[in-house]
Amino acid sequence: MPTARQPGCPFDPPAGLIDAREHGPISRFPFPDGHQGWLVTGYDLVRSILADPRFSSRKELMRHHPIIDYGDIEVPPAPPGEFLLMDEPRHSRYRKPLVGKFTVRRMRLLTERVEQVTAEHLDAMEKAGPPTDLVTAFAKPIPAVIICELLGVPYEDRGSFQQHIDTFLGGESSDEDLIAAYTATQRYLAELVAAKRADPTDDVLSDLLDSDLTDEELRGIALILLSAGFDTTANMLALGTFALLRNPAQQAALRADPALADRAVEELLRYLSVAKTFMRTALEDVELGGHTIEAGTAVVLSLNTANRDPERFADPHTLDLRRQDGGHLAFGHGIHQCLGQQLARVEMRVALPALLDRFPTLRLAVPAEEVALRPETADIYGVKSLPVTWD
């Protein structure tokens, strides 16, 4: 998917990216099926589209894709409960019952549990000794444990969820593997919802049983929360560590001043923007940035480019943990803004400083250019593994 080149990142940008700055904040580009879509990279334009109901999130309207040629295949509507790919009023039917479960206050109450889970995995890393893959030892298991506990997924089932979500979002699986992983996950979630109906426990999924949501809808909601609550944060923890290891002055600043953690998290979110793009479809002709976006046209919103817009952020390609100009779009904007953003903030705020404090000599175990990135086709920007070592 076209995105902007990111000079100054802690890794080389993947091959094939375009420097969107040369094309302005909005430009046309051809999709594989011949459709002439739009790429929007400017901060103000991206933010305005995300808040504009004239641009739809509906899955069935996204028959044009910037990477995949669907041919004559009709894209079906999003299944019940999978509200990220819906417009109002269906979107609010599913999101509204969840809002109170993910407030700033509720997520901060989880801090002690996040600290405990983080400490357990740092203990295991220390006991095993260097080197290790930070992705499997630290970045993935921490958010996986927390989101599974929030939804009431038994601990022993956590590993299979990690594997299936990697298959969904990793960008390298065959169609057969994708279908198999999706089918297995749907089957499991159906069993989980039925188990909660029979014996509710203290978790978000059980709390939703008092609503008018059907079991099928609850299954869809659970899938969205598990996927979003795990993969994005896991990649932020891995890439955030990578960025700090490649910027020793910023790493030293965070070590020296734990109070910097909140601002550091926001800057890493802006700088890395792991949820790199969103898509929308124009429902009517819209005048935007001096252009007419015709009804039915697909629009790709490049969040990682918007978060490095020099019109919005000073020296945008520099990682600066003391940056004052906040307001990034890493969690989106408008009615689809990430529901679990406060949970992600808590996990990053706890885990990254704890990692640096536990291992003062933490460093890459391989040259930076040998750290393999996830492919451009992956939904979430990240690394496949992050080999690290310490004294």
Residue 30 domain-assigned (yes or no): yes
Compute the 3-state secondary structure of the chain and give helix, strand, coil in percent, each to the nearest 5: 50, 10, 40
For 9-22, how does the pLDDT look when each residue is reduced to its tens digit (9 = 90+)?
A: 444 333 333 444 55
Task: Compute the mean pLDDT over every residue in the chain, rounded to the nearest whole number.
Answer: 89
- The answer, yes or no, to whether residue 4 has pLDDT greater than 80, is no
Q: At what angle do helices 341-358 and 141-151 cross, to 10 degrees?
A: 140
Q: List pLDDT tens digits, range 206-251.
A: 999 999 999 999 999 999 998 888 889 999 999 999 999 999 999 9
Tell me the three-class secondary structure of 282-307, residue by residue.
Answer: ECCCEEECCEEECCCCEEEEEHHHHC
The mean pLDDT of 51-59, rounded to a whole number, is 97
d(CA 310, CA 24): 12
DSSP 100: G
- 199 φψ region: left (φ > 0), alpha (ψ -120 to 50), beta (else): beta
Q: Tell me: the pLDDT tens digits for 102-114?
A: 888 888 889 999 9
Instruction: Please tell me the number of Cα atoms within 13 Å of 129 on its side-chain side.
Output: 0
Provide the percentage of residues in the chain whose pLDDT is more than 70.
93
Q: Is residue 4 part of a domain?
A: no
Q: Which residue has the tokens 């969205």?
A: 224
User: What domain range includes position 70?
Assistant: 15-389
Residue 209 domain-assigned (yes or no): yes
Domain assignment of residue 6, yes or no: no
Could you give the number of structural domains in the chain? 1
| 271-280 tens-digit pLDDT | 999 998 899 9
Cα–Cα distance measured from residue 131 to residue 103, given in angstroms and rounded to the nearest whole number: 38
pTM of the model: 0.92
Q: Would you say residue 7 has pLDDT above 50?
A: no
| Structural domain contains residue 9 | no
Between residues 72 and 339, the one the model is more confident about? 339
Q: What is the mean pLDDT of residues 304-321?
A: 93
Is 96 among the domain residues?
A: yes
Write a three-state SS string for 162-180: HHHHHHHHCCCCCHHHHHH
Residue 327: CATH number of its domain? 1.10.630.10
Classify residue 283: in a domain, yes or no. yes
Distance, CA of 27 to CA of 134 (rounded, Å): 38
Report yes or no: 162 and 145 within 8 Å, Cβ to Cβ. no
Does residue 153 carry a pLDDT above 50?
yes
Identify the band that residue 192 occupies on the pLDDT scale cut at 50, 70 and 90: very high
* pLDDT on residue 293: 97
In this structure, is residue 1 part of a structural domain? no
